[in-house]
């Protein structure tokens, strides 16, 4: 499977307002998420879903846009930009899909440092709200 179908599904999720079931359907049971601020990988569909769902709501506002994509087989790097509380955020999503077209590995990298700090602040609040 090439990444193009997976990228199309990811873009549809991001453009569609963040439908939780659409996202859950994109994630493999054994998926792993690598956060720019959490040291340990987050493993399993439920944890990956929680992080990606929160991130899509924290970062995926009207200002969010993908700038470019680099695709190689079953993986892709998508560079993004957005603004959060007046802070410009630049980052990359590095995504790998399994043979069924589901997200197997998702890594996010963010710059500059004040952007990482703002993302951490907003993501912590969103994850806490989702948990209870």
**pLDDT tens digits, one per residue of 46-67:** 999 999 998 888 888 789 999 9
Q: Residue 51 and residue 117: Cα distance in Å, rounded?
A: 16
The predicted model scores a pTM of 0.90
Fold of 3-131: Nuclear Transport Factor 2; Chain: A, (3.10.450)
Q: Which tokens hold the place of 68? A: 């470019």
pLDDT confidence bin for 122, thresholds 50/70/90: confident
Beta 87-97 vs 103-111: how paired, if at all?
antiparallel
Confidence of residue 18 (pLDDT cuts 50, 70, 90): low
28-32, 58-62, 82-86, 117-121 — most confident range? 28-32
Indicate the domain borders of the chain: 3-131
| pLDDT tens-digit readout, 67-85 | 999 999 999 999 999 999 9
Contact by Cβ (8 Å): 117, 97? no
Give percent of the chain above pLDDT 70.
98
């Amino acid at each position: 499977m090439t990444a193009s179908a997976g990228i199309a599904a990811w873009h549809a999720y991001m453009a569609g307002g963040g439908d939780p079931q659409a996202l859950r359907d994109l994630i493999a049971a054994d998926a792993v998420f690598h956060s720019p601020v959490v040291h340990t990988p987050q493993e399993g569909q439920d944890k990956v879903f929680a992080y990606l769902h929160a991130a899509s709501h924290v970062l995926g506002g009207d200002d969010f846009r993908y700038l470019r994509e680099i695709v190689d087989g079953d993986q892709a790097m998508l560079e993004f930009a957005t603004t959060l509380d007046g802070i410009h955020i630049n980052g990359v999503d590095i995504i790998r899909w399994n043979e069924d077209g589901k997200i197997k590995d998702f890594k996010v990298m963010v710059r500059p440092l004040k952007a990482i700090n703002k993302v951490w602040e907003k993501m912590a609040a969103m994850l806490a709200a989702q948990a209870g």
